[in-house]
Amino acid sequence: AKLTSSSKDEEKAETTKVFTMLSYGKNFEDARKKYDAASPFPVFLGATRVVVLGENYAKKGIEPYLNRIDHLYDYRKTVLTVISRKPPKELFNIKVKKDISVGFLIEDIMEHVAGKGEGLYPVTGELLSDIELGKIGYLLPYIGVEKGSIKYLGLAVMKNSKLVDIIDIKNTFGIMYVLADEPRIVQVAESSEDGKNKLSFRTFVKKRKIKVDYVDGKVTINIDLDLKAQLRYQYYMEPISDAYIRKLEGIISEKAKNDVESIIKRAQNEFKCDIFGFARYFRAKQPEIYEKINWEYAFTKADVNVNVKTKIINMSLRDPNAKKKY
């Protein structure tokens, strides 16, 4: 790579020249051999930031490539894996202005999204653990290009390590409440009776409890969420009574409950795949029954109970006499 930097007097940012190398073959080894024959310098795979897999390849199955990463010593097992709507060849030819390269940009985008509690950051080691369990699916970030910019678009649903569906980003909130390390989801609620004013809240999971059991010959999944909600701002400044605060807590709870229930129902009826890893909870509690039943089928017929409680923590929003900043 060639690095150039300008002086402070010049209005030019530091630039990095990135080389894109391409190789084809009937298998991974054949493609790598042809790549090495054309490369003027050795490749250090430990510096790999992200593995980008195209939709067509993902539909056929990505397990062979994940196993390749697992068994080649110089790959990091914490490398990020994503699915791309655009063929990787085209994706990596996009000129990036915000980062060093396409790979660094994708990594930074997903670190940012996951850090905000609005996305997942699955690493190869975790995916291989899911594959080893054998009876569950998993989710991968789904990226694409819109208006010339690379964007996080949602989640790719992987069943038997094959791409079976896409979950749009706007429908991923329920997944974050269940799977994200520290989900922070923005919700909007109406405050006035005429619906003109709106309040923007950010919700946090204070406590999450998942219990999977076997009752009367049927799997039951119980999810309890204790949320904290923090007011970000009102569209129009209005006093809020204690009674309405209680009502807002109920509205936020109901929205979160619906988000979780709807995505689990979709997993049961459309994907027919346990993308949440509930099998791990069930195997830990009922190991003998787990070995006897067909978990893939049992999950699709499971009873699901979701309970959500919300506490609005910044009560200053009710003070109509609070001094304004401006």
State the pLDDT at residue 99.
Answer: 64
Confidence of residue 204 (pLDDT cuts 50, 70, 90): very high
Over residues 268-273, the mean pLDDT reads 97
State the pLDDT at residue 139.
Answer: 98
E strands within the chain? 3-4, 15-16, 50-54, 80-84, 138-146, 149-159, 162-168, 184-190, 198-215, 218-234, 303-312
Please tell me whether residue 198 adopts helix, strand or coil conformation.
strand
pLDDT digits (tens, 9 = 90+) for 6-60: 444 444 445 556 666 777 777 777 877 876 777 776 666 666 778 899 999 999 9
Residue 27: inside a domain, yes or no? no
Q: What are the residues whose beta carbons fall under 8 Å from the beta carbon of 127, sequence distance 6 or more?
A: 66, 81, 138, 140
Q: For residues 68 and 43, what is the distance between their CA atoms, to the nearest angstrom?
A: 16
State the pLDDT at residue 53.
Answer: 93
Confidence of residue 4 (pLDDT cuts 50, 70, 90): very low
193: pLDDT strictly greater than 90:
no
State the pLDDT at residue 317.
Answer: 54
- In the block, residue with structure tokens 């970030």: 141
State the pLDDT at residue 192.
Answer: 65
Report the percentage of the chain scoring pLDDT > 90: 58
320: pLDDT strictly greater than 70:
no
If phi > 0 it is left, if psi is from -120 to 50 it is alpha, else beta; for residue 95 that is beta
Domain carrying residue 229: 172-326
Residue 304: inside a domain, yes or no? yes
**Within this chain, do residues 148 and 200 fall inside the same structural domain, yes or no?**
no
For residue 187, the domain's CATH number is: 3.30.300.210
Q: How many domains does the chain have?
A: 2
More confident residue, 27 or 108: 108
Residue 93: inside a domain, yes or no? yes
**Within this chain, do residues 155 and 189 fall inside the same structural domain, yes or no?**
no
